[in-house]
Every structure is written in structure tokens, then in C-alpha cells.
Chain A
Amino acid sequence: MTYQITADQVASRILDGEAVLIHYGSSEYFSLNRAGTWVWEALDASPRADGDVSKVLSAHFQLDESETGGQIQAFFRELEEAGLISSVDQSQAEAAAVQLDASGIDWEYDPPQLTKCGDLETLILSGE
């Protein structure tokens, strides 16, 4: 299955290799670990198939692809359930595809992880 970021519903920022995501509709916000952020950046560049992501990560870290595949699939499922990504037509995805590149990875592998941090509340501007 191929996915893309639901760009009209989501904003993100990366700090020290870890991303924070907010979802406008649900008002939830999340953080990602290093591997999750790498996947998120890959999705930000182009729609991605979970299988392609797990292939590249497995090859780079010399991991068992069946195990990594399950982890990546679960991660994509979590992102989708949170409304952060949605599935996309395969042909559209292929047309927009940007090569996945693991050469910049400088961290140890941990399965990608999405953590819900809380719900956004009314924002207060301080005039004190």
C-alpha cells in the first residue's frame, strides 16, 4: 500500500532529528523518534509504499526484512489511524516518486514510533 501525508490537515517541525506533528482536525499532537522522523521526511518528499521503506531500512541496517516489514507496516497503520497519512493511488505515487536514500542515516535503528503527546487547546497570547 502507498501513502502520502494528509498535507491539508497536518503541520510538522523537526528539531534535533525528531519531528512534532499536529493534526488540525483532531487537535492532537504527536512526536516521532529518529526512525519515525526519517520515514516522515521520506513521505514528505513523495508518496511511499510501506514495503519500499522497509526494504531500504532493512538493507541499510542489515535487518531481517520480514521483521522490519511488520514494524513499518504497523507504523504506517498508526499514522493512518491518526489521520496523518492516507492511502494513495499507486500510479499517482509512481509518477511523483522520489528515490529513497538511506545514505544520510547516522543513528542506530529503533523501530519507528509515533507517540501521542496530547490535545491542542485554546492558545493564549500573553499581554501581562
Chain B
Amino acid sequence: MNRETATSIAKELQLLKAPNTDVMFHGLSMEPLLAEGDRVQVDPVEIKDIVIGDIITYRLDDKFPTRRVAEIKLDYLILCCDNWPTVYFHAPFTEVLGRVRARTRDGVTLNCDDPEWEKRKRLALRNFRLETSEILPVRMKEWVLKRLRNSK
């Protein structure tokens, strides 16, 4: 096994199995709920337990993008970003690693069952639907067709 593969597997084990592992959020896409430098807790999750509005982490090359579930399809998720309502992503079920349970900022922890978290979820999903109601079905069809072509 090459070092790159071992490192990638080790990071996934660290994310999902290591207790008290130090996980940090990087980027602007999920502000204000998740901001640069926030400490984030991620739990392993079964696909059947994922619901719209969850924030999930998935595998993409050597990175772990972390975004909100906007729709659940047959074998993939459509994901949106709280701070970028016009942008969305796809994550095949096979690449999903875990679900964000809490974030800690300046020593204060906010859990996913907190009313503030719930409020941010509702806002993000509403904005996403408003911004993408026309274009999303067209883009989804294009993406599904592309996947089908690539799988042949």
C-alpha cells in the first residue's frame, strides 16, 4: 500500500473512530453556523439515518467537504452551503463518512439539537430552494446522465 492511500485511510479512521480527535472547519461556505477555525464533532452515520438538513462530511479525493443535505436521491445526496445558496454539490452514498453533531467556537459548544442550529437549517434550506427551484431539476438531469455515461 502506498503512503498516500494509508494516509487517506488513517484520516478517515481519525475522523470517525478516534475519541476527542481535533477536527477543524476551514472555509466560508457554511457561515455563520460553521466558520473558519471552528472545532467540529463528527459522528459516523448510516445513510438510512440521514435526513434533509443534516450537515454531513464526505470523501472527495483527499479532502473532507462538509455541507448540508438539501435532497436525498436514490444513491446520492444533493448538498448545499448555508452561505452560498446558489451552489450545490453531489455526494454518492458510498462517499458519505459522517454527520456533524456539534461545533465549538471560543469555548462554547453548539449542538445540532440546539434551536439556533435548527434556525440556521431552516434558513439555509429555504434560501437554497428559492435560489435553485428552476435550475436544479435541469442540472440534476445533466448530472445523472453524465454519471450514466461514465458508468458504461
Contact = CB atoms under 8 A, between A and B. Distances in A.
Interface of A: 11-13, 15-16, 18, 20, 22, 24, 29-31, 117-118, 120, 122-128
B94 to A, nearest CB: 14
Nearest to A125: B66
B144 interface: no
Q: How large is the interface on B (under 10, 10 to 19, 20 to 34, 35 or more residues)?
A: 35 or more
Given A12-B13, A15-B9, A120-B14, A127 B29 contact: yes
B19 interface: yes
B6 A127 contact: no
A11 B18 CA distance: 8
A117 B12 contact: no
Given A29-B6, A117-B3, 9 more contacts: A13-B13, A15-B9, A118-B7, A122-B24, A123-B21, A123-B23, A125-B26, A126-B26, A128-B28
B10 A127 contact: no
Contacts of B88: none
Contacts of B57: 125
Interface of B: 1, 3, 5-7, 9-15, 17-19, 21-30, 34, 36, 40, 42, 57, 60, 63-67, 81
A126 B65 contact: yes
A127 B34 contact: yes
User: Which 10 residue pairs spanning A and B have beta carbons closest together?
Assistant: A127-B27, A11-B17, A29-B10, A128-B27, A20-B9, A125-B66, A127-B29, A18-B1, A31-B6, A11-B13
